[in-house]
């Protein structure tokens, strides 16, 4: 049996779909469904169990699992409850790491590009304790993720016991189907699609840096199908352990993202640039771009979907349909 924590969430539900498509119905999801329609992310799936996080410790007792894919977290970059974030993102992760170590179970977990902070230290997925200590995340979420990366890295450096396979995935700007429950944390494409389709103006931020054009703030946008492909490759390649960036390695602008959506619909872009709120100007990232050499060096050769193709697949296959769910 596979356990996917956060399996009703965005990336988690896409991983569950891939496991089902690979013929695995023995998939248990650990998540809270709540009342915001998140269950729809799993409505087309076959599951062995749905486990509330508070019951996970008891549920694991005496079990044998094929792998734990740990994607559950408080992922809002605006989260402010430090105790809750540490309990959810760090302490629960430590308990799962210990369980997988004791039970010789592969452990694949979500880290985040938020660990890199403002990017001043670069975006190299160096898993050494020294390199991770130099990172300065800009928010509570990123700090909690880096704290766990450090704990794993220190065990690895000391030769302490670890699961037979462990892999931390530093996801960059992931977008794609089943992100709709995330509200303001959805990709800008998902948030603005109805405006694009209806012909309403789409607002993007002006640039407040010399030499950078309005709308040319850049991110490493990666389609969720590519993220899932990396995850499934790791499941099938148990010899590979480590901390890996999961991005395309190519930064693209927010303007590129939105113009691609207009193009997928055969429409002319209708974009307006507005001032960035003063309270975020000092901390706003103008550029993120992953370094993916280590993933390639570990043997991954699945490639990454070009932005225009990814946006076209998302728009035509999901956003522009009555049923937007995978």
Question: Would the annotation count 224 as a binding residue?
Answer: no
Partners of residue 168 on adjacent β-strands: 109, 243
Question: Would the annotation count 174 as a binding residue?
Answer: yes
Question: Would the annotation count 75 as a binding residue?
Answer: yes
Distance CA 292, CA 181 (A): 29
Distance CA 174, CA 187 (A): 8
CA 77 to chain centroid, in Å, comes to: 12
Q: Please indicate whether residue 273 is annotated as part of the active site.
A: no
Question: Would the annotation count 126 as a binding residue?
Answer: no
Question: Would the annotation count 11 as a binding residue?
Answer: yes
Distances (CA, A) of 318 to 137, 191, 314, 324: 33, 14, 5, 4
Question: Would the annotation count 187 as a binding residue?
Answer: no
Total number of residues shown for the chain: 326
Question: Would the annotation count 253 as a binding residue?
Answer: no
Question: Would the annotation count 73 as a binding residue?
Answer: yes
Tokens matching residue 265:
């619909």
Distance CA 48, CA 156 (A): 33
Tokens matching residue 104:
């010789």
Question: Would the annotation count 206 as a binding residue?
Answer: yes
Which residue in the list 44, 61, 170, 182 is annotated as catalytic?
Answer: 182
Tokens matching residue 49:
């169990």
Which residue in the list 109, 116, 141, 180 is annotated as catalytic?
Answer: 141
Q: Please indicate whether residue 182 is annotated as part of the active site.
A: yes
Question: Would the annotation count 178 as a binding residue?
Answer: no
What is the H or E stretch that residue 68 is in? strand 67-70
Distance CA 168, CA 151 (A): 12
Question: Would the annotation count 44 as a binding residue?
Answer: no
Question: Would the annotation count 111 as a binding residue?
Answer: no
* CA-CA-CA-CA torsion sign (80, 82, 88, 90): positive
Question: Would the annotation count 184 as a binding residue?
Answer: yes
Tokens matching residue 131:
């390199």
Catalytically active residues are: 141, 182
Which parts are annotated binding residues for NADP(+)? 10-11, 31-32, 38, 71-75, 145, 174, 182
Residue ranges of the annotated binding site for substrate are 173, 184, 205-208, 219, 284
- Which residues fall in the annotated binding site? 10-11, 31-32, 38, 71-75, 145, 173-174, 182, 184, 205-208, 219, 284
């Amino acid at each position: 049996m596979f356990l996917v924590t956060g399996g009703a969430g965005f990336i988690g539900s896409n991983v569950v779909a891939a496991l089902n498509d690979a013929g695995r119905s023995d998939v248990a999801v650990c998540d809270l469904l709540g009342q915001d329609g998140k269950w729809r992310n799993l409505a087309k799936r076959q599951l062995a169990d749905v486990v509330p996080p508070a019951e996970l410790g008891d549920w694991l007792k005496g079990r044998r699992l094929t792998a734990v894919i740990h994607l559950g977290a408080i992922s809002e970059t605006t989260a402010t409850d430090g105790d809750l974030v540490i309990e959810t993102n760090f302490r629960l992760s430590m308990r799962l790491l210990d369980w997988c170590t004791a039970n010789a179970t592969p452990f694949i977990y979500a880290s985040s590009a938020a660990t890199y902070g403002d990017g001043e230290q670069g975006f190299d997925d160096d898993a050494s304790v020294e390199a991770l200590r130099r990172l300065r995340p800009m928010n509570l979420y990123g700090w909690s993720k880096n704290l766990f990366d450090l704990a794993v890295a220190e065990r690895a450096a000391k030769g302490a016991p670890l699961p037979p396979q462990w892999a931390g995935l530093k996801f960059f700007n992931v977008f794609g189907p089943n992100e709709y429950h995330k509200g303001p944390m959805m990709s800008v494409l998902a948030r603005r699609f109805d405006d694009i389709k209806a012909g309403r103006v789409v607002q993007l931020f002006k640039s407040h840096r010399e030499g950078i054009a309005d709308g040319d703030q850049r991110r490493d946008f990666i389609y969720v199908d590519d993220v899932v492909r990396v995850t499934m490759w790791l499941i099938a390649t148990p010899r590979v352990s480590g901390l890996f960036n999961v991005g395309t390695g190519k930064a693209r602008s927010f303007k590129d993202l939105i113009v691609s959506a207009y193009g997928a619909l055969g429409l002319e872009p209708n974009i307006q640039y507005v001032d960035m709120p003063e309270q975020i100007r000092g901390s706003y990232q103008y550029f993120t771009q992953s370094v993916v050499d280590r993933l390639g060096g570990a043997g991954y050769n699945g490639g990454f979907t070009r932005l225009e193709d990814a946006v076209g697949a998302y728009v035509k296959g999901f956003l522009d349909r009555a049923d937007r769910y995978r």
